[in-house]
Each structure stands twice: as C-alpha cells, then as structure tokens.
Amino acid sequence: MADIQIRRMNWLDVDEVTKVEEASFAIPWTKEAFMNEMLRNDQAIYFVAVHERRIVGFVGVWQIVDEGHITNIAVLPEYRGQGIGNLLLTQLVEFARSKSLAALTLEVRVSNIGAQKLYEQFGFENAGRRKRYYQDNNEDAYIYWAKLGSESE
C-alpha cells in the first residue's frame, strides 16, 4: 500500500493503538496495558503503521536478554490484506537485528492460517503447541520461532 509510514510508537499513540487492538482481538489489551508498556516496561518496543496521520496497525516486542517475544501485531480490518503486517514485521526484524537479538518468538492461533503464512515468510517455524492458550475460546496456540542472523533477508 502506498503512503504507509512505520515509526516507533510513543505514549501519545495509545488511544489509537487501543482502537486497533479492540478491532482485532476477542480479548484486547486495555489502554492502561499499552500505557504501561510505553511508560514502565523498559523491554517493550512498539512500532505503528500510519496512513494519512491515522494509526492503522502496530507491532510490539519485548526484548528479553538476546531474544524478542512478539507480544501483538494487528492491523485495522479495513486495511488488512494490503501488506501492512509485512511492513510492520520487516521493521521489527530490522530492529531486532540492529539490537543483535538471536531469535524472535510468538504465539499464534492454530486457526489463524493467514498470520502463520505471514510469519513463515519471515523465516518463523512452528516449534510446538500451547494447549488452551487463548482464554476467549480455549483455542491452542502454535509457538513460532525465527532465528536471526546478521545476514540480510
């Protein structure tokens, strides 16, 4: 999609990011949770996708020693399928490499085939399953890992 900018998230973005979260997940993170991420969690790094001054997507990661745990990635429903998730993940992987992180991990619903395909494009591999991981319907989650190197994608 043309005219999408990816930049670091700050606390002023929390209201808009919360709207994206609420439009994307059955049990969304609260505004307070995002504010805590921005102001109190030194391990949290988030990026937002901006289209015409509107936040249309975001991705977050916790940097834990030399690994990154992707906490959430979401795009507003009306902007999905336009490559914004790809742009966000590209930025996140570049950031992770710049911090010399060895790997990234995340959980994804077993039913979310679209997300799984996106992650696999970035070298993520299914490394296991967490039973009844999602609280809204007790759906299992796949655990995905991607080893990062200094080589380019």
Residue 17 in domain: yes
Instruction: Name the catalytic one among 67, 94, 107, 139.
Output: 107
Whether 78 is catalytic is no
Tokens coding 123? 């070298």
Instruction: Name the catalytic one among 46, 79, 119, 142.
Output: 119
pLDDT tens, position by position, for the chain (153 residues)? 569 999 999 999 999 999 999 999 988 999 999 999 999 999 999 999 999 999 999 999 999 999 999 999 999 999 999 999 999 999 999 999 999 999 999 999 999 998 999 999 999 999 999 998 988 899 999 999 999 975 444
Residue 153 in domain: no
Q: Which residue has the tokens 């959980």?
A: 107
Residue 23 in domain: yes
Whether 107 is catalytic is yes
Range of the domain at 22: 4-147
pLDDT in tens, 116-153: 999 999 999 999 999 989 888 999 999 999 999 754 44
Residue 35 in domain: yes
Residue 152 in domain: no
- Give how many domains the chain has, as a whole number: 1
CATH of the domain at 117: 3.40.630.30
Residue 53 in domain: yes
